[in-house]
């Protein structure tokens, strides 16, 4: 058996998975598979953009950022959203932050989650003046809609009801 098929973590055989960071081999049991992580994060560092890691590299480089990401992503789902045409409701809210801009999102929900993620990272809990712009993209015979969006991140008192 070639040495390259020995798992660097448990020294077991059939280590067919190469770590994205150190390139060494791991068996299935010792490999950390990371799918669709950091989707909403801007500027994902190279070491976090792989889909599999050996145990040591995962612990050293990935585990903590992944936990932080998941925490922010969870809070992003709780962000309160007001559209531009709801300015009656939002007129007294703080508009000091620069507008967020996202481009070429899959749909409106994707755009909202990306902006919400940024808002949470800035310490905010709401998006106001949200606007969407749908763009038709033609790729050969394939047509699809992609979405650009802007919003102002702000902080609101979530215990209040803004719709009354």
User: Considering beta carbons, is residue 20 or 153 the nearer one to Zn ion?
Assistant: 20
User: What is the contact mask toward Zn ion in residues 56 to 95, using x (rule: CB under 5 A)?
Assistant: -x--------------------------------------
Residues 6+ apart with CB under 8 A from 24: 8, 18, 54
Q: Can you tell me which of 6, 25, 27, 105 binds Zn ion, judged by CB under 5 A?
A: 27
Choices 50-58, 86-94, 128-136, 138-146; region in contact with Zn ion by CB under 5 A: 50-58
Residues 6+ apart with CB under 8 A from 11: none
Maximal C-alpha separation, the chain: 72
Residues 6+ apart with CB under 8 A from 57: 19, 20, 21, 22
User: Considering beta carbons, is residue 12 or 99 the nearer one to Zn ion?
Assistant: 12
Residues that bind Zn ion (CB under 5 A): 7, 9-10, 12, 19, 21-22, 27, 30, 54, 57
């Amino acid at each position: 058996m070639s040495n390259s098929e020995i798992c660097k973590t448990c020294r077991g055989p059939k280590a067919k998975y190469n770590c994205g960071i150190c390139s060494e081999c791991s068996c299935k049991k010792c490999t950390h598979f990371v799918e669709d992580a950091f989707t909403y994060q801007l500027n994902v560092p190279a070491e976090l953009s792989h889909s599999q890691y050996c145990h040591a590299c995962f612990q050293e480089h990935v585990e903590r950022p992944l936990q932080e990401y998941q925490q922010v992503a969870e809070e992003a789902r709780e962000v309160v959203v007001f559209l531009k045409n709801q300015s009656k409701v939002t007129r007294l809210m703080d508009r000091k932050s620069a507008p967020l801009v996202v481009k070429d999102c899959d749909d409106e929900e994707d755009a909202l989650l990306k902006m919400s993620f940024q808002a949470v990272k800035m310490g905010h809990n709401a998006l106001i003046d949200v606007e969407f712009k749908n763009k038709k993209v033609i790729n050969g015979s394939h047509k699809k809609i992609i979405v650009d969006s802007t919003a102002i991140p702000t902080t609101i008192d979530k215990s209040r009801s803004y719709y009354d």
